[in-house]
Chain A
């Protein structure tokens, strides 16, 4: 039986989320958007939005705090799944992708190839500070200074559903607005100037990966007895190349921390011998036949 490709499955889930939000836009369900999603008084508030509203208002907002703590617990349990499975930006990011440059991989050293790091990536410090964290810090500082949630103004997730809402207002109430041009233009600008928006800029992703620093479940596991690199010494880099988050499951020292893993499953999908598994998906991947190694050698 064919397994659905992870990228396709993700697109389906994201589309389903978008459909629920569009239903809310055109009806009176009041469930909301990704910024705040909920039913009546129970709501999941965007964790960055929660902190921003607390800092900007300088008041204790119980629902924002409770929601943040619940999302923190979820992040510790299952990690940064939001970024791959709910956020619409990774789907849109692909539309603005430059054609990949033919990157020359550095010549493989046979000994280096065979070297297996005893503890894998999990031994690495859970946080590596990069630009996103500075954007996060700047956004929070700015929010505290100026007294309103600053990142929300340019957040491409908010702008995406804002655009849909304005479009609906135009169609339903004939209510034209420059927003309909300005919002998508901002999204396009953000994703073209920063083609690696999610990796280099997004403070929400940075915050969620910080929250996932103690993530314990749903981590990719490499079966070193089948992995071409560790078992056969082949210089296979497919999983590393497939990872948008620049995680290298074989080189802890060159890898982003595992807290950055969005559980997108691209590494598991691309592995020719199905050596990488995620919990909950284990059965499916192992029930599938193993690809003959010959066909792999050409790629690797």
Chain B
């Protein structure tokens, strides 16, 4: 028994082992390493990230994304960035929305170039708002959330940059002229974050968050 194991499994009636000990160790090592890698990566998975439109089902997204970089490359506004290893080993190199760099116009190019449907196709309809036509998608990237401790209007003065920029009329102002997000109208396009001047106008507040940030649906508590 012991002998058989050390020599590798024996072929019935022949002197030739099916596999040398070295080959067996290599084979077992290869399989174990891959299972271990999958398990470790699963255990160390980071939290939910802001995905490009169509990638909101996180487990379906991670199952299909091959980290090919096509969606990031083709994005006309440059809002799609790359997740870092800090965001979780499984997430590294996957696309994430960087609303400090742009906003999503729901043009659909990223879903078009995704061959594995990690970004699933969605529909848009045209709607008139404030005299211009906007694309209203049937997906939501996330929900804008006012960070009241950073927002200019909530702290020191009047600012209506985000509410004026929102193409969906999802940001109104309360009695104190401070922005309030209507979660049912917001689809997380992120233009509010993109235009928010809180970081530049209030340089002393530090950090990298602006006065309004898009959160995932889970975090945003829609």
Contact = CB atoms under 8 A, between A and B. Distances in A.
Interface in A128-155: 130-132, 134-135, 137-139, 141-143, 145-154
A294 B144 CA distance: 80
A141 B35 CA distance: 7
Given A30-B74, A134-B30, A162-B93, A63 B23 contact: no
Q: Which of A41, A61, A179 has the most CB of B within 10 A?
A: A179
A152 B89 CA distance: 11
Interface stretch (B110-118, B164-172, B193-201): B110-118
Contacts, number: 188
Contact of B116 (A53, A151, A154): A53
Interface string B54-83: 000001101111111111111110100110
Interface residues of A, number: 66
B38 interface: yes
A158 B69 CA distance: 10
Interface stretch (A32-40, A217-225, A255-263, A285-293): A32-40
Interface string B117-139: 11000000000000000000000
B173 interface: no
Interface of A: 24-25, 27-33, 35-38, 40-41, 43, 45-46, 49-50, 52-53, 56-59, 61, 63-64, 67, 130-132, 134-135, 137-139, 141-143, 145-154, 158, 161-162, 165-166, 169, 173, 175, 177-179, 182-183, 200-201
B73 A178 contact: no
Interface of A is mostly: helix
A178 B84 contact: yes
Contact of B67 (A35, A37, A146): A35
Given A28-B73, A150-B41, A178-B84, A141 B64 contact: no
